[in-house]
Each structure stands twice: as structure tokens, then as C-alpha cells.
Structure 1
Amino acid sequence: MGNAVIPGRHTAATEGDVTLFVIGMRINDFRAVRSWWPVFSAMPKMLKELSRDPDSGLLHHQLLFGPPRVIYVAQYWESSEKLLAYASAPDRLHRPAWAAFNRRLKAGKGKVGFWHETYLVPAGRHESVYINMPEFGLGRAGGGVVPIGRRGERAADRLRAG
């Protein structure tokens, strides 16, 4: 569906396990471009690498902006195993980017912040609702959306239906 608005109320068609990886940075000092620009510019390259490889396990990613000076990416993965395999693969972009970031982190003295969180959500323990939205988040990553009534009208119903 892409960016076309889907009228009405829908929920993600996803029925299996979900691995959600959220990774972000906070620019603590805008003037310290040498500290934060490499962090900012490394992520699109890694996402492009992952998107070109259908076996990577990355299902979808979404760039988001949070509190002041925070930029982050929500990534939906087939499994935590594929996420961890990418993170540790010596022949992929992540390892050298991580090593370079750690070197800059020490030299930058707090001018850029970094964080990530990983959520392993078993089947039936995730719920979503999209109203007058294009496919988004889990609905885009997990095989599209279905009318909300198929999985229950209330969030509690959809969580039990999984």
C-alpha cells in the first residue's frame, strides 16, 4: 500500500513474534558537528545495506523524531537472532561504525548521546490500531493491516486474540 491512507480503523495483520529494535542519538552540543555527524550519517548506510538484503531479517524501519535534539529509528526484525547476527557480522557496516563511534565517544566528552532498546514480543502479546493512516510501524512491517474487527474491537480483545 505504501503511503496511501487506508480509511477507517485497522490493526496489524502480524500474528507471530515481533522483535522491535529502537536506536537513537541525542545531539547534546550542535556546535560539535564532528562528534554527532558521523553517528547521524552512519545509520542510513546501514539501513540501505540491510534493505538490499532480503535475508538480513530487517522487515521495516521508520525514522522518528523525539524530544528536542533526539533522532531515532524503530526497526522491526524477523527475529532477535537476525538482529544480533547483523550487529556482530565482521563483513557488514555495523561493526566498523560501532568501533568508530566508540572512539569518537571518548574524544567527544558527552557532545552526543546514544541509546538503543530491544524488545522481544511473543506472538499474541502485541496490539495495534491505525485510524485513517497508511500502513505504518508494525502494520507495515508485519504483512499489512486488517480491519480491526477481525482481531477484536478493543485492545484487550486483540491481545487475547493473538
Structure 2
Amino acid sequence: MGVQPVEGRMTAAHEGEVVVFHIGMRINSFVSVRSWLPVVRAMGPMLAELHRDRDQGLLGVRQLLAGPREVHFVQYWESKEKLLAYATAPDRSHRPAWSAFNRRLREGKGKVGFWHETYVVPAGAHEAIYMNMPPTGLAKATDVIPVARRGDRAAARLSHP
């Protein structure tokens, strides 16, 4: 049994700026386990650390599989400042994991690939609609509300402050 859908037309309750951070890796050589397995293992502790301390700014995350070689996470953050602060904090999990990954990347000579994209979305420049869906995406990261509270059309939701 999974999460139950919320009936009707809903939207994400989030107001204000949101940062959408995509991060992923690709296994280019399955036999080079020493190159990619530490990368796979590093994400779990970082996400656990962020979930334990909500003041770090992570609103929510969704994991996607993009075929047998790729894993992709979509993260929602309160601000770019909080995302960048976490990424560079010497006392958090990301910085040592990033350093170790960079060493492996150089040594592995293309056995594992990595990518990320960051989008800073200003208030009033994002909209969402979910019909008969369990909370997902930004709505799962924040909350879900009826569409009518933000406008029945995408144009109205995009202009909502």
C-alpha cells in the first residue's frame, strides 16, 4: 500500500523563492565498482544529515532512476545561500565526500560521470498542478493546497506573489 492520492486539482503551497537543484551520476563502467560505489553511498548520509537539521535549508528531495546506469535527485532548497553554505561547510558531510569523489574521478579515468544543475526560481515564477496525485515534487517538499487558492489557470498561478 502506498501513499494515497489527494483528490482533485491541487498545487504546491510554497510561496516565495525556491531553488531547484538537480544532481546525478552515471555509471560508465559497471566493473569499476571502486569508482562509482562510494559515490552512490555518499548521498544517503548527506540527505540524512540534511533531514535531521532542517535549518540547513533542504525542503525536500526526490530520487529518480534514469535507466540502469543513472541516478538523479531533484532537491528543493529554501535559498541559494543555504545550498551554497551546506556545500562548502567544512563540518558537514558534503565537502569531504566531494573531495573524495574528485580524487576518484581523476583516478577512474571516465568510469563514473557526475552532473548537477541549479535553478533559482523567484517568487511568482513557479507554478504546479497535481490532479489526483499523492503529494509529489514541490508539494511533497512543502505542502499541498487546492488550486483555487492560487488561481485555476497556470498564468494566474505564475503571477501569484
TM-score normalised per structure 1: 0.93
Instruction: State the Cα RMSD in Å.
Output: 1.4
Q: Is 1:114 aligned with 2:111?
A: no
Give, as a single letter, the amino acid of the residue that structure 1 aligns with 2:92. Answer: R
**Which ranges in structure 1 are unaligned for 5 or more consecutive residues?**
none
Q: Which residue of 2 aligns with 1:28?
A: 28
Distance in 2, Cα, partners of 1:20 & 1:145:
18
- In 1: Cα distance, 2:53 partner to 2:149 partner: 33
Equivalent residue, structure 1, for 2:58: 58
Q: Given residue 28 of structure 2, which amino acid in structure 1 is its aligned partner?
A: N
Aligned pairs for 1:21-100 (under 5 A) are 21-100=21-100
Residue 137 of structure 1 deviates from its aligned partner by 1.1
Query: Which shows bigger deviation, 46-55 or 149-158?
Result: 149-158
Unmatched tracts of structure 2, length 5 or more: none
Counterpart position of 1:149: 148
Deviation at residue 68 of structure 1 after TM alignment:
4.8
Distance 1:157 1:98 in 2: 41
How far has the Cα of 1:145 moved from its partner? 1.1
Count of matched residue positions in the alignment of Structure 1 and Structure 2: 160
CA distance in structure 2 between the aligned counterparts of 1:22 and 1:117, rounded to whole angstroms: 5
Paired residue secondary structure (2:56): coil
Structure 2 CA distance for aligned equivalents of residues 161 and 48 of structure 1 = 33
Q: What is the aligned partner in structure 2 of residue 9 from structure 1?
A: 9
The letter of the residue matching 2:155 is A
- CA-CA distance at 1:50 after TM superposition: 0.8
Partners in 2 of 1:80 and 1:161 — Cα distance?
21
TM-score normalized with structure 2 length: 0.94
Moved over 3 A (4+): none
